[in-house]
């Protein structure tokens, strides 16, 4: 066994410590949803139904993912989108896996210092609000490539439900209404957005009220009929470019004409006999999840226990080191030489473990690389079909309702993804991420993401599909769900609902969800030198599927449902739907 003596001392110390009544406060979770033929888990219940209907009609998981992507653009517009971008991790029944990068690109006229004033200081809100914040959208091109290469149904079939919900409207439930209420102030600032999402009295639509989006229905119908050219080369691009020019943006027709999806090899790594298949750069997600898992692999997490000071200690230290790498070394692979091989190397993980003091918190500023100076919403959905094709999609407008702007007549909310770039080395972004040159703005470059749509396999078969929104916390949310299933034996719903902790190197703070750790554990960690911030709100909305049973225990015993789906209890409008 590769445990060093130092580690073992730490382990036994932690165990002694955790034998005091100090387990995290876990609430009971509802049972996961069951399905024998397929499972669709999304953050909006109508979109989950759309996905299951596609599977029932004989479409595969990729078909369902495309239909869900378009549906969420209508029924979950704070994050679902055609004006933003995202990633799709696909693991096919024959064992092949692939990754589609349809994330936004910087406009051709973008410059490294475009969000700085003449004194070199970031202009507040410039990368977040209005047209200057908008990256060239990729979702329409991404869905079309997914459908053409890996789907089986027509674009018209897959887009019809979204068009119907946009044209005829949908009735808001409590979760939907809460999301619109949260965006009301932002949407009020743009007359075109306000005309769609706010009522005549300026108030957001409430529970039981119906929201129709006729302009969006027309845009979707044009895309359905003519394909992505309707978006990238036709009237929609014209309208966006015109509005951008009139309102301080820099988008040009050329930006749209040359947008291209990248098909990339997913990042893979092994963790305790499981294979993790996740997002490569321009996401940091897969690399950083794997780096953290490699570090954790030789700590006995199940023995230390979920939520114990010992487990939190090693997890936070692994996160600390990995986020330094994230924020300093990674960027768009067309522009930066990403040291992926090094970061995924098990020997590199050992070097990190050797630096972790078993008894004390590390100090982030000591890890500052040379020359160095995330709000809501994104959405994740997980789908598996009767043949075992598994698809994980995370896509986003970045902030809730993106840049908060809609070009007249399009009905399409635009992203504020440009904020994911480094505005200036050392200056935190929306998610408090302090990043470096590798992620500096350049024309056509894609900003570094944390989105981590992930498929886990075991013995060559799909085991888990998982991902979440949450800005820079996406990585730790996804990681913790995996660890909760594999190390702590939780069922998929418990693994997703369990309280979260997060550390991202800077600020040097361990964020803890409400009631996430017991007071005794908090005191133990504080005694080790940790600065804890007990958050007043939860974060993330994970969507997961486990194959063969609801937990490892059930899988081992046999007899569990084939597909077990869980939408985060934090996702008020979501649903896991099996059939």
The set of catalytic residues is: 378
Which residue lies nearer to ligand DON by CB, 252 or 430?
430
- Tell me the CB-side half-sphere exposure of residue 202, using CA atoms within 13 A: 5
Which residue lies nearer to ligand DON by CB, 18 or 378?
378
Q: Which of 106, 290, 474, 571 binds ligand DON (CB under 6 A)?
A: 474
Q: Residue 271 — φ and ψ, nearest 5°?
A: -140, 110
Total Cβ atoms within 10 A of residue 168:
11
Which residue lies nearer to ligand DON by CB, 285 or 549?
285
Applying the rule CB under 6 A, the residues between 532 and 561 that interact with ligand DON are none
Q: Which of 376, 500, 503, 570 binds ligand DON (CB under 6 A)?
A: 376
Nearest partner of 136 among 259, 261, 249, 263, judged by Cα: 259
Q: Which of 471, 544, 565, 574 binds ligand DON (CB under 6 A)?
A: 471
> Residue 184 and residue 198: Cα distance in Å, rounded?
7
Min separation Cβ 473 and ligand DON, Å: 8
Nearest partner of 172 among 215, 211, 216, 212, judged by Cα: 211
Q: Which of 7, 396, 446, 478 binds ligand DON (CB under 6 A)?
A: 396
For residue 8, give the H/E element and its range: helix 5-18
Min separation Cβ 374 and ligand DON, Å: 6
Unique residue bearing structure tokens 């230390």: 304
Q: Name the one range near ligand DON by CB under 6 A: 3-11, 39-47, 358-366, 374-382.
A: 374-382
Is 469 a binder of ligand DON (CB under 6 A)? yes
Is 470 a binder of ligand DON (CB under 6 A)? yes
Is 338 a binder of ligand DON (CB under 6 A)? no
Which residue lies nearer to ligand DON by CB, 153 or 451?
451
Is 139 a binder of ligand DON (CB under 6 A)? no
Q: Which of 297, 317, 332, 420 binds ligand DON (CB under 6 A)?
A: 420
- Classify each residue of 324-359 as buried b or exposed e, where b means 16 or more C-beta atoms within 10 Å of its C-beta: bbbbbbbbbbebbebebeebbeeebbbebbeebebe
Min separation Cβ 171 and ligand DON, Å: 25
Min separation Cβ 481 and ligand DON, Å: 15
Is 377 a binder of ligand DON (CB under 6 A)? yes
Q: Is the dihedral of CA 483, 486, 488, 493 positive or negative?
A: positive
Is 378 a binder of ligand DON (CB under 6 A)? yes
Say if residues 392 and 86 touch (Cβ distance below 8 Å): no
235-246 helix and 214-226 helix, angle to the nearest 10 degrees: 130
Residue 75's SS3 state is helix
Alpha carbon 411 to its chain centroid, in Å, reads 24
Which residue lies nearer to ligand DON by CB, 287 or 474?
474
> Residue 511 and residue 430: Cα distance in Å, rounded?
16
52: CB partners within 8 A, 6+ apart: 38, 40, 64, 577, 578, 579
Contacts with ligand DON: how many residues (CB under 6 A)?
15
Total Cβ atoms within 10 A of residue 533:
11
Q: Cis peptide leading into 406, omega within 30 of 0?
A: no
In 159-204, beta strands by DSSP E: 170-171
Min separation Cβ 416 and ligand DON, Å: 9
Binding mask 422-461 for ligand DON (x = CB under 6 A): ---------------------------xxx----------
Q: Name the one range near ligand DON by CB under 6 A: 203-211, 371-379, 406-414, 522-530.
A: 371-379
Is 398 a binder of ligand DON (CB under 6 A)? yes
Min separation Cβ 449 and ligand DON, Å: 3
Nearest partner of 381 among 47, 146, 30, judged by Cα: 47
Min separation Cβ 392 and ligand DON, Å: 14
Which residue lies nearer to ligand DON by CB, 221 or 468?
468
Which residue lies nearer to ligand DON by CB, 294 or 450?
450
- Chain contacts with ligand DON (rule: CB under 6 A): 374, 376-378, 396, 398, 417, 420, 449-451, 469-471, 474
């Amino acid at each position: 066994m590769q445990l060093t003596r130092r580690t073992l001392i730490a382990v036994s110390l932690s165990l002694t410590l955790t034998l005091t009544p100090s387990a995290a406060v876990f609430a009971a979770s509802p049972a996961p949803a069951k399905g024998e033929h397929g499972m669709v888990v999304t953050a909006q219940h109508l979109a989950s139904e759309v996905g299951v209907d596609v599977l029932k009609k004989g479409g595969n998981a990729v078909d369902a993912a495309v239909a869900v992507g378009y549906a969420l653009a209508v029924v979950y517009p704070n994050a679902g989108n055609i004006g933003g971008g995202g990633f799709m991790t696909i693991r096919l029944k024959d064992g092949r896996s692939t990754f589609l990068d349809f994330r936004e690109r910087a406009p051709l006229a973008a410059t490294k210092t475009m969000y700085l004033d003449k004194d070199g200081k970031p202009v507040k809100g410039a990368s977040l609000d209005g047209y200057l914040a908008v990256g060239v959208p990729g979702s329409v091109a991404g869905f079309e490539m997914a459908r053409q290469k890996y789907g089986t149904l027509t674009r018209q079939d897959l887009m019809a439900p979204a068009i119907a919900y946009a044209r005829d409207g949908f009735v808001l439930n409590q979760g939907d209404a809460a999301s619109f209420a949260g965006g009301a102030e932002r949407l009020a600032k743009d007359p075109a957005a306000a005309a769609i999402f706010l009522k005549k009295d300026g108030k957001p639509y409430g529970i039981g009220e119906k929201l129709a989006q006729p302009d969006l229905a027309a845009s979707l119908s044009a895309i359905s009929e003519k394909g992505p050219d309707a978006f990238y080369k036709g009237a929609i691009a014209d309208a966006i470019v015109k509005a951008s020019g009139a309102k301080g943006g820099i988008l040009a027709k050329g930006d749209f004409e040359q947008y291209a999806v990248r098909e990339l090899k997913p990042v893979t790594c092994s963790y305790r006999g499981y294979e993790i298949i996740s997002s490569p750069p321009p996401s940091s997600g897969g690399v950083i999840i794997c780096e953290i898992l490699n570090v954790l692999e030789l700590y006995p997490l199940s023995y230390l226990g979920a939520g114990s000071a010992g487990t939190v200690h090693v997890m936070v230290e692994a996160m600390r080191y990995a986020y330094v790498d994230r924020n300093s070394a990674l960027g768009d692979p067309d522009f930066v030489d990403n040291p992926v091989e090094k970061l995924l190397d098990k020997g590199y993980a050992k070097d990190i473990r050797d630096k972790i003091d078993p008894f004390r918190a590390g100090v982030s500023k000591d890890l500052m690389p040379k020359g160095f100076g995330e709000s809501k919403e994104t959405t994740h959905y997980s789908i598996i079909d009767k043949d075992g094709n598994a698809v994980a999609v995370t896509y986003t407008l970045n902030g809730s309702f993106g840049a908060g702007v809609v070009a007249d007549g399009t009905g399409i909310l635009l992203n504020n993804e440009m904020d994911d770039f480094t505005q200036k080395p050392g200056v935190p972004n929306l998610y408090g991420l302090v990043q470096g040159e590798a992620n500096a703005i350049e024309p056509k470059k894609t900003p570094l993401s944390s989105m981590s749509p992930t498929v886990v396999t075991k013995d060559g078969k799909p085991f888990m599909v998982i991902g979440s929104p949450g800005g820079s916390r996406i990585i730790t949310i996804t990681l913790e769900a995996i660890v909760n299933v594999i190390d702590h034996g939780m069922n998929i719903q418990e693994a997703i609902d369990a309280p979260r902790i997060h550390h991202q190197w800077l600020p040097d703070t361990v964020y803890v969800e409400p009631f996430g750790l017991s007071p005794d554990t908090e005191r133990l960690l504080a005694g080790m030198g940790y600065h804890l911030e007990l958050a007043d709100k939860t974060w993330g909305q994970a969507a997961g599927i486990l194959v063969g049973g609801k937990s490892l225990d059930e899988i081992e015993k046999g007899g569990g449902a084939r597909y077990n789906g869980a939408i985060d209890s934090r996702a008020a409008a979501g649903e896991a739907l099996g059939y």
